[in-house]
A = this chain, B = another copy of it.
Amino acid sequence: MAATLLEQRDSSSPARVRLIDVARAVGLTKGTVSRALNDHPDIAETTRLRVRRTAQRLGYRPLAHAQAIRTGRVRSIGLVLQINEHDGHRPFLADFLAGVSQAASGEDWTMTVATAATEADTLRLLSTLWEDRKADGFILPRTYVEDARITTLRDMRVPFVLYGRTGDDTGCAWFDIDSEAAMAEAVSRLRALGHDRIGFVPGGEGPMYARLRWQGFCEGMAREGLPVDPGLVGLPALDRAAGAAATRGLLARDDAPTAVIFAVDQAALGAYDVARDRGLRIGRDLSVVSYDGIPEGALMDPPLSTWAVDTRAAGARLADMLIARARGTPPEDLRALGHATFLSRGSEGPAPGRADAP
């Protein structure tokens, strides 16, 4: 007459199949069944198969939190999002979550999400989520050159995977998009259109992606035999207003660039504002190429040419990597680069005074 919780055989809830039920059905003890399902070496192959089939037939699914009491693992991916001022990753969030969730589901894992307002919040949340075993590891989005999350988690020996790279990636697993290559190719494309004064608006010092995009720009310039004139490097810009300011700075020079590459789309939007004010036509008088693939870019006139990232695939990849990491794969074996896709949508064109421009 053991009353379980609220509902028992409420006709609605068909009484969950437990390990002991499988054991009885197959005529073994629950310890043996547990070892069989977890592929312990001291179980005969025939027994293992017999158990597995019975479990399958009965529809047995272990309760993660019951397992966790002994193993300490709940089969959950942790994700702490820092939502602050210029929340850059908004438009990609849904796709990213979809990717992580899908890959996690495939392995019977779930996703525990928390949000933080500050870095201190983030660190606190990472610690408690780990200590309370709400997650078996974390995906860290938006990495920085120096990233407190990484040192914290590394010290606590917590499994984690970076979405992006970092200054010192010792002991770090990561997945990133090869934005250097994208930026370098952006230079080459503009060069092929006749531009030889190509400006760059960087994204600042802190975010790792900003550094890498800057490096990529430099590599592209070197490859094309163009010098990186300091006068062609604008002020760092991560939002529209700063992007406009940076653009004005670049256009103020006598030998102003005929094309500008922006590290981030948001900043590139500012170029449109400046162009409108000055009567410049983007894609003709001034070419613009950027990176991120934000949806707003498609609404501009002309639509912004940019490098888009398959964020959903990235999320899925990262989830798989984290699960592998939590299962013991060394971080050094979990590092990979993906690539961005160029969306040529009209904001870049031939250099003025050449080819088809009058």
Residues in chain A within 8 A of chain B (CB atoms): 4-7, 10, 12-13, 16, 61, 63-66, 68-69, 71-72, 74, 76, 81, 83, 87, 89-91, 93-95, 97-98, 101-102, 105, 110-115, 117, 125, 129, 131-134, 155-157, 269, 295-296, 299
In the assembled complex, the Cα of A91 lies from the Cα of B88 at a distance in Å of: 11
Contact A132 B97 (CB under 8 A): no
In the assembled complex, the Cα of A114 lies from the Cα of B81 at a distance in Å of: 15
Q: Which residues of B contact A12 (CB under 8 A)?
A: 155-157
Partner of A83 from the list B64, B98, B129 (CB cut-off 8 Å) is: B98
Q: Which residues of B contact A105 (CB under 8 A)?
A: 114, 125
Contact B114 A111 (CB under 8 A): yes
In the complex, which residue of chain B has the Cβ closest to the Cβ of A102?
B115
Interface centre among A6, A66, A132 (most CB of B within 10 A): A132
- Shortest A71–chain B CB gap in Å is 7
Q: Which residues of B contact A111 (CB under 8 A)?
A: 112-114
Partner of A131 from the list B16, B71, B81, B83 (CB cut-off 8 Å) is: B16
Q: Which residues of B contact A101 (CB under 8 A)?
A: 113-115
* Copies in the assembly, this chain: 2
Known: A10-B157, A12-B155. 19 other contacts (CB 8 A): A5-B72, A7-B157, A12-B157, A13-B156, A13-B157, A63-B132, A65-B65, A69-B69, A76-B134, A93-B93, A93-B94, A101-B113, A105-B114, A110-B114, A111-B113, A269-B299, A295-B296, A296-B299, A299-B299
In the complex, which residue of chain B has the Cβ closest to the Cβ of A16?
B131
In the assembled complex, the Cα of A74 lies from the Cα of B110 at a distance in Å of: 14
Contact A83 B110 (CB under 8 A): no
Contact B61 A65 (CB under 8 A): no
- Shortest A158–chain B CB gap in Å is 10
Given known pairs A12-B156, A93-B93, A129-B110, the reply for A98 and B69 (CB within 8 Å) is no
Q: Which residues of B contact A68 (CB under 8 A)?
A: 65-66
- Shortest A273–chain B CB gap in Å is 10
Q: Which residues of B contact A299 (CB under 8 A)?
A: 269, 296, 299
In the assembled complex, the Cα of A189 lies from the Cα of B111 at a distance in Å of: 45
In the assembled complex, the Cα of A278 lies from the Cα of B105 at a distance in Å of: 49
In the assembled complex, the Cα of A10 lies from the Cα of B155 at a distance in Å of: 11
Q: Which residues of B contact A94 (CB under 8 A)?
A: 81, 83, 87, 89-90, 93, 115
In the complex, which residue of chain B has the Cβ closest to the Cβ of A13?
B156
Given known pairs A90-B91, A133-B63, A155-B12, the reply for A97 and B69 (CB within 8 Å) is no
In the assembled complex, the Cα of A154 lies from the Cα of B282 at a distance in Å of: 55
Q: Which residues of B contact A69 (CB under 8 A)?
A: 63, 65-66, 69
